[in-house]
Amino acid sequence: MAAPWDAFTKEDGSVVESCAVITVPANAVMNVIDGIADTNDGRMPAILTREDQEVWLHGTVEEAYACLTH
């Protein structure tokens, strides 16, 4: 899944780790599962292909964004 992750150290020295799952419009299969096939308003996690994993982790912001649009 496509998800940004970050960690930062607070002033007290504690580390805070966070992440977020990126979603995209649901495909036809997921809309049916969600029971909203008639509306096409569903969302689903963005799933990266094996080919896109390296770009997602080490590419530019523009290259990573392109992984979400195909």
Higher pLDDT, 68 or 7: 7
Q: Residue 66: is its pLDDT beyond 60?
A: yes
Phi, psi of 24 (to 5 degrees): -135, 165
Tell me the per-residue pLDDT of 11-63, one tens digit each, with 9 for 90 and over: 999 999 999 999 988 887 777 775 655 555 678 899 999 999 999 999 999 99
Residue matched to tokens 């997602």: 56
Q: Residue 67: is its pLDDT beyond 60?
A: yes
How far is residue 40's CA from residue 25's CA, in Å, rounded to a whole number? 8
Q: What angle do CA 4, 22, 38 make, to 5 degrees?
A: 175
Q: Identify the helix (H) or strand (E) that includes residue 51.
A: helix 50-58
Task: Note the pLDDT of residue 26.
Answer: 84
